[in-house]
Amino acid sequence: MLGSAISLFSEPDDFQAALEQSGGIGLIVTERGEFQARIAELTLGRLRLSAVEERLSRIACYTLAPGLVRVILPGPEGSLVCGGIGLEHGAILTHYATKAVYERLNGPAQWRDVILPTRRLAQYSHALTGADIMPSHAVHLWRPPTGALRRLTAVHAATLLTARTRGGEVHVAATDPGLEQKFMERLVECLATAQVTPNSAATYRHVTLMADLEGMADAYRERSPSILEICAALGISERTLRGCCHEHLNMAPNRYFRLRRMQRARRVLRDADPTIVTVAQVAKHHGFRELGRFAAEYRAAFGELPSATLHRQLVG
C-alpha cells in the first residue's frame, strides 16, 4: 500500500469513526475473523483522497453532504458493490449526494476514492472540455480507457504519498495547487472519455427504496420490524424487498435489522461501566429477550461473549 501513510485499525468502531469523515455510517462486519483495516487519507485543497484496505466482508451506508460527489476507484484486490452496482475491473463508480447508498465488500478488498464538490468538478470539466460532466443518478458506473484510468490511479497514489502519519491518524492538509490541478485533469480525462453504463429506472428506484429502508433501521432500535411491516411502510411487495436487500446487502432484511441492533448493543457494552450495567440490561434494551440466544449470536458475530466486551475496560 502506501508505507508511512497508512494507519491500522483493529476495532470496527474505530474504523467506523474514520469512515465518518467520508460519509460512511452504520458499519456492520458480516464475516467472522480478526478485524483489520488500513486507511490513508489526505485533504488536498477541496478534495479528500483515501486509500483503504479491509480484510473482512462488511456493509456500510454512505450519506454525502449536499453538493458533494464521491468517485470510487478500483484496487488490486476484492469486490466492492455500491448502490447495488459492482465496481468492475477497469471501471470507476460515482456516488452523487442525492441518496444514501449501501456499500458492501465481499471479502478482503482494497479500494480508493476521492470526495469533492460537484461545483469543483463542473468548473474543471468545463475548463478542460467545454462541457460540464456531472453524474445524473445516485450511483453510476463509468468505463474509461485503460490508459486514462491508469494515469488517474497513479496520480491518486502519488498524491497520497505526500501524507505523513501524525498522532495515530493519517490526515494532512496539502495546499499545493499544482497537485490538485494534476489530479483533476486526470479525473476529468477519465470521465470525459468513459463509456457510461445507463441506469435503469428499476436501479434508481431500488436505491431510493434502500435509502428509505436505512431510515427504518435507524427508527427501529429496540426490535426488528416484520417483513410485512417493512413492505407496508415502503409500499412494495415482499418479493421486491427481498430482491433489493439481496442486491444491496446480500442478506435478508430481517437479518440486517438484527445485525444493526447487535452492533448497537456491542457499542453500549464496550463503553459501559460493568459495575453499573449488566449484559441482560443491554440485551433487553436492544430487543433481545432470550439472553442465551443473544450471547450465542453475539459470540458468532464478534468472536467473544458479550460479558467479555463489557468487562474489557476492567481487564485493560
CATH of the domain at 148: 2.60.120.10
Decide which of 167, 199, 231 is a domain's last residue.
199
Give how far Cα 49 sits from Cα of 169, 195, 295, 296, Å.
Answer: 14, 24, 40, 40
CATH of the domain at 295: 1.10.10.60
Residues 19 and 155 in one domain: yes
Residues 16 and 139 in one domain: yes
Residues 179 and 207 in one domain: no
Residues 226 and 174 in one domain: no
Q: How many domains are contained in the chain?
A: 2
Q: Can you give the pLDDT at residue 163? A: 55
Give the tens place of pLDDT for each residue, 144-159: 999 999 999 999 998 8
Average the pLDDT over 18-44 and give the result.
Answer: 87
Residues 63 and 18 in one domain: yes
Residues 259 and 186 in one domain: no
Residues 186 and 242 in one domain: no
Distance between CA atoms of 122 and 134, rounded to whole angstroms? 7
Give the tens place of pLDDT for each residue, 66-78: 899 999 999 888 8
Residues with Cβ within 8 Å of residue 314, at least 6 apart in sequence:
274
Percent of the chain with pLDDT over 90: 57
Range of the domain at 299: 202-315
Average the pLDDT over 257-274 and give the result.
Answer: 91
Average the pLDDT over 157-185 and give the result.
Answer: 68
Residue 120 has pLDDT above 80, yes or no: yes
Distance between CA atoms of 116 and 100, rounded to whole angstroms? 17
pLDDT: is 196 or 192 the higher one? 192
Residues 54 and 195 in one domain: yes
Residue 100 has pLDDT above 60, yes or no: yes
Average the pLDDT over 109-121 and give the result.
Answer: 93
Residues 8 and 119 in one domain: yes
Residue 165 has pLDDT above 70, yes or no: no
Q: Where are the alpha helices (DSSP H) in the chain?
A: 12-19, 118-129, 146-160, 177-193, 201-219, 227-234, 238-248, 253-271, 279-285, 291-302, 306-310, 312-315
Residues 67 and 29 in one domain: yes
Average the pLDDT over 101-113 and give the result.
Answer: 94
Q: Can you give the pLDDT at residue 196? A: 85
Q: Can you give the pLDDT at residue 186? A: 97
Residue 302 has pLDDT above 50, yes or no: yes
Residue 252 has pLDDT above 50, yes or no: yes
Chain centroid, CA 83 distance in Å: 10
Residue 174 has pLDDT above 70, yes or no: no
Decide which of 199, 228, 246 is a domain's last residue.
199
Decide which of 144, 166, 199 is a domain's last residue.
199
Which stretch of 41-45, 100-104, 174-178, 209-213 has the lowest confidence by average pLDDT?
174-178
Residues 110 and 246 in one domain: no
Residues 30 and 132 in one domain: yes
